[in-house]
Amino acid sequence: MAPSTILFALLCNQIAHAHWSPAAHEIIDMTYVMSEDSLVWPGFNMKFHYTRIRRAEWKYGAGWLEDNDICRPEHQGTHLDAPAHFARGKWYVQDIPPYRFFGPAIKVDISAKAALNRDYNLEVKDVENWERANGKIPDGAILFVYTGWGKYHTNSSAYYGYDGAGDWKNDLHFPSVSQSAAKWLAENRKISAVGVDSPSIGPSSSYMAHVPLHEKNIFNAESVANLDKLPTKGYSVAMLPVNIKDGSGAPLRVIAFKTVQISPGPEDVVDLTYPLGNSTVMWPGRASFKLLPVQKGYMKIGNNSVWVEYNDFCGPEHGGTHLDAPAHFIKDSWRIHQIPAHTLIGPAIRVDISKKAANNPDAILTVKDLHDWEYENGRIPDNAMVFLYSGWGKYVDDHEKYLGTANRTHWINDQGQILVHFPGFSGEAAEWLVNNRKIIGVGSDTISFDVGQTTSCPAHVTFLRAKLLALENVANLDKLPPIGFTAFVFHMLHVDGSGAPTRLVAVKNSAISFNSDDTKVASDGQMSRPLFAILLLPSFFVLTVLM
């Protein structure tokens, strides 16, 4: 290789390694916090509720354990409609290619018309007017329809336009999207999704706007929060649904970004999340996840007979790919809804201990492994998510191999002998990371990021005491390179959770670019643009001299 080639490779390497994580003022969290008081669709039998709450002292760890089970409908609060909701044979939640969850956010404002007429629905002419003022809707966009209904989201009769009598299929009134506008968008623009701040993409007279969108695998976000704060264009958005296997919908986390465009192609994302289903392996003694079918078939709505599918689901907060809130192990610390949204995004790095774990289910990630990683890849970037790759992902469907015990009910026996075996972080490595590097969180491809053979759980205690994000059952770490991606840790958002199912997706840094007119705002954030320039300049200089 010629020196110039080497330098060029070095240069590309630096470009790929530009790190980003947003500052608090650079995001809009467009997700409602779910609670037992949250509104639910009229006619639904189930609403979000806890089925088991454990908040009490514990013999192990730091002496405290919070750990709950929940049940809820797929379609409550801020949620995704997967195309399978209204189009038979189209994508379920786990079938949507994750790159489609990111894109330019555009907002069409029909709030003035909706204020005069609660049955007003977005028309083709509203979209045409938007394009006359703002240019063509970009490919891959996520289009939000702003009706102004967010202000009613705690008042059922105002939000749904329902007086509590009659059939929801004929008696709801809220603004949304007309069938003709949905059809026009599906046929004429390459959008990934349509979101709305009212209860449904609607329209409330027929629900037929779903059909042309879902037929084209365009998904929806419903009950989107804070749409009044989103500008007409210029922001980008990430919306990540809990990865419910065969779900027709799912709890959705929606966050918009002021300073960057996130436009990944299919090859630019690694989905670090397992689909969550009835057969997901749980910690010994925990309830299993259950997807409970409610409706799957043709339904008469107005004069139409329409295919509709939806489910409820029940399960532990700590099941499948999930986040531990600090309160899981630390008394009086943050529960899931108290984690600041802007801290859910940061550089993803992967530390590979798969070689030593191959023949040792009790292998640990040590401080030396972290030093070795830095020797190879440079200092762990600020705001990093540090992922432990043990290779355990290949056992995820095999209870005995994944947990290191065939026992389904106990992880420790009456003699105090620990039954579970799997790799994890050592206590020293956890302390070193917390004390010497500025990271936002950790994750591992095992059922717990502490090694199986511990009752003191030093990694949990250390990371959760430091209020870091802590993820378990992380998928596809074999596909994540050591550095060069950004992790989005979008957890289900509910009041007082000790943890939550989480959609964790990594996006290649080269698919994230700064808005060009936003340099000033950008430098307030966490991206080290000045540093980036300092690194680049000498490389250009040397390159020029050599060539």
**C-alpha distances in Å from residue 93, one per residue of 100, 486, 517:** 12, 22, 36
C-alpha to C-alpha distance for 250 and 291, rounded to whole angstroms: 11
Site residues for ligand NAG, 54-73, by CB under 6 A, read: none
Using CB under 6 A, which of the segments 17-25, 132-140, 406-414, 507-515 binds ligand NAG? 406-414
CB of 414 vs ligand NAG, minimal distance in Å: 5
Q: According to the binding rule CB under 6 A, does residue 290 interact with ligand NAG?
A: yes
Q: Which stretch binds ligand NAG (CB under 6 A): 232-240, 261-269, 375-383, 410-418?
A: 410-418
User: Phi, psi at residue 217, to the nearest 5°?
Assistant: 60, 30
The least CB distance from residue 174 to ligand NAG, in Å, is 11
Pick the closer one to ligand NAG by CB: 91 or 99. 91
Q: Using CB under 6 A, pick the residue from 54, 125, 229, 410 that binds ligand NAG.
A: 410
The phi, psi pair for 191, rounded to 5°, reads -90, 155
Verify binding: residue 287, ligand NAG, rule CB under 6 A. no
Q: How far is residue 493 from each of residues 81, 126, 338, 520, 546, measured CA to CA in Å?
A: 17, 33, 9, 32, 54
Distance CA 315, CA 68 (A): 9
Contact pick of 56, 115, 287, 292 for ligand NAG (by CB under 6 A): 292
- Work out how close the CB of 6 gets to ligand NAG at its nearest, in angstroms, rounded to a whole number: 53
From the CB of 356, what's the least distance to ligand NAG, in Å?
29
Q: Is residue 5 a contact point for ligand NAG (CB under 6 A)?
A: no
Position 355 contacts ligand NAG (CB under 6 A): no
Going by their DSSP bridges, the two strands 512-514 and 193-196 should be labelled as: unpaired
- As to burial, measured by CB atoms within 10 angstroms (0-12 exposed, 13-18 middle, 19+ buried), residue 258 is buried
Question: Residue 417 Cβ, how far from ligand NAG at the closest point, in Å?
Answer: 8
Residue from 226, 232, 377, 407 that binds ligand NAG (CB under 6 A)? 407
> Closer CB to ligand NAG, residue 413 or residue 456?
413
114-133 footprint of ligand NAG as x/- string (CB under 6 A): --------------------
CA distance 219 to 181: 15
Stretch that binds ligand NAG, among 101-109, 235-243, 390-398, 404-412 (CB under 6 A): 404-412
Supply the DSSP string of 475-541, one letter for each residue.
Answer: --GGGS-SSSEEEEEEE--BTT-SEEEEEEEEEEGGGEEE-GGGHHHHHHSS--HHHHHHHHHHHHH
Whether the CB-CB separation of 231 and 130 falls below 8 Å is answered with no
Site for ligand NAG (CB under 6 A): which residue of 132, 414, 530, 544?
A: 414
* DSSP structure class, residue 173: -
Q: Out of 129, 188, 278, 436, point to the residue binding ligand NAG (CB under 6 A).
A: 278
- Cβ 384 to ligand NAG shortest distance, Å: 37
Binding residue count for ligand NAG, defined by CB under 6 A: 18
Burial class (CB in 10 A: 0-12, 13-18, 19+), 479: middle
Interface with ligand NAG, residue 180, by CB under 6 A: no
Q: Between residues 40 and 291, which has the closer beta carbon with respect to ligand NAG? A: 291
Q: Which stretch binds ligand NAG (CB under 6 A): 3-11, 80-88, 288-296, 428-436?
A: 288-296
d(CA 323, CA 336): 9
Q: Of the ranges 183-191, 341-349, 407-415, 459-467, which one interacts with ligand NAG (CB under 6 A)?
A: 407-415
**Residue closer to ligand NAG, measured from CB, 187 or 414:** 414
- The residue whose Cβ lies closest to ligand NAG is 413
Nearer to ligand NAG, 113 or 437 (CB): 113
Question: Which of positions 246-275 make contact with ligand NAG (CB under 6 A)?
Answer: 246
- For 290, the token pair is 């259950």
Name the residue among 146, 152, 136, 253 with its Cα closest to residue 194: 146
166 touches ligand NAG (CB under 6 A): no
Q: Does 45 bind ligand NAG (CB under 6 A)?
A: no
Site for ligand NAG in 146-165 (CB under 6 A): 155, 157-158
Footprint on residues 202-231 left by ligand NAG (CB under 6 A): 205-206
CA distance 481 to 17: 12
Q: 359, 409, 516, 544: which one contacts ligand NAG (CB under 6 A)?
A: 409
CA atoms of 442 and 497, how far apart (whole Å): 19
By CB under 6 A, tell whether 302 contacts ligand NAG.
yes
Instruction: Please state, in angstroms and rounded to a whole number, the distance separating the CA atoms of residues 435 and 440.
Output: 12
Give yes or no for residue 413 binding ligand NAG (CB under 6 A): yes
Between 303 and 516, whose beta carbon lies closer to ligand NAG? 303
Is 71 or 434 the residue whose CB approaches ligand NAG more closely? 71
Secondary structure letter of residue 415 according to DSSP: T
Rounded-to-integer distance, Cα 398 and Cα 279, Å = 10
Tokens of 306: 């329409």
Contact criterion met (CB below 8 Å) for 393 and 475: yes
Contact, 235 vs 262, CB < 8 A?
A: no
Cβ proximity to ligand NAG, 284 vs 347, nearer residue: 284
In order of 364, 475, 525, the CA distances from 422 in angstroms are 9, 15, 38
Q: Is 305 in the site for ligand NAG (CB under 6 A)?
A: no
257 phi and psi, to 5 degrees? -125, 135
C-alpha separations of 429 from 186, 356, 366, 375, 512 in Å: 51, 16, 5, 16, 30
The residue ranges that bind ligand NAG (CB under 6 A) are 155, 157-158, 205-206, 246, 278, 290-293, 302-303, 407, 409-410, 413-414
